Amino acid sequence: MPASTARNMVLSVTDPDIGFPEANPDDRELLLAWLGYLRGAVLRKAAGISEDQADWTPDGRLISIKGVLNHLTRVEWRWIDGGMFGEEVTREEAEFRPGPELSIEAALTVYRKRGEATDAAVRAMSLTEPCRGWGGQGKDLRWVLLHLINETARHAGHADATRELLDGTTGE
């Protein structure tokens, strides 16, 4: 396990600090709030780590924190640009293990920008808008948003486990 001065650090935050979603009668905004909250959980797990730490996995298992960021960026791109807009997209196993050409800062920046692009696209469409492309037969924007929430929650858990094993950091 890598040595770190953050060993056993517990992040102490309150619900407002982390953007925990409030009740909202607008389904689109409620779904976006949950997606944003989960994105924030992933970003908090990447806060303050070095390049080596960003690439670290426990005994080669799980996904590195940088790999989580890269994969989630591509998942949103695939489902919004590919699924909703019908653009040509790809899926490659290599997205889980990006090389040194992608720095942690670049991965964070691209993930944030993708989130902004996803949110803007979602706000411009009806939740019942059907998918036009990649993987979307019989699906609509509501399904895509729920899938993005599921995918982000699952990989936020991966980032959480990796960070705790990396340097003992726990908490939201």
**pLDDT tens digits, one per residue of 3-16:** 444 445 555 455 56
Q: What is the mean pLDDT of residues 26-44?
A: 96
Q: Minimal CA–CA distance to 65: which of 74, 56, 77, 73?
A: 56
Q: Specify whether the CB–CB gap between 114 and 79 falls below 8 A.
A: no
* Residue 7 within any structural domain of the chain: no
Q: Where residue 55 sits, what CATH number does that domain have? A: 1.20.120.450
Which stretch of 3-7, 67-71, 92-96, 148-152 has the lowest confidence by average pLDDT?
A: 3-7
Enter the pTM of the model: 0.88
Instruction: Give the distance, in angstroms, between the CA of residue 61 and the centroid of all CA atoms in the same chain.
Output: 19
**What distance in Å separates the CA atoms of residue 134 and residue 108, rounded to the nearest whole number?**
25
What is the number of residues in the chain?
172
* Residue 111 within any structural domain of the chain: yes
**What distance in Å separates the CA atoms of residue 61 and residue 161, rounded to the nearest whole number?**
11
pLDDT band at 20 (very low <50, low <70, confident <90, very high): confident
* Residue 130 within any structural domain of the chain: yes
The pLDDT of residue 167 is above 60: yes
The predicted pLDDT at position 1 comes to 42
The pLDDT of residue 17 is above 90: no
* Residue 15 within any structural domain of the chain: no
Q: Going by C-beta distance under 8 Å and a sequence separation of 6 or more, which residues neighbour residue 4? A: 53, 166, 167, 168
Q: Going by C-beta distance under 8 Å and a sequence separation of 6 or more, which residues neighbour residue 56? A: 2, 64, 65, 162, 166
* Residue 3 within any structural domain of the chain: no
Give the amino acid at 171: G
Number of independent structural domains in the chain:
1
Write out the residue range of the structural domain in which residue 54 sits. 28-167
Q: What is the mean pLDDT of residues 28-33?
A: 96
* Residue 22 within any structural domain of the chain: no
* Residue 4 within any structural domain of the chain: no
* Residue 20 within any structural domain of the chain: no
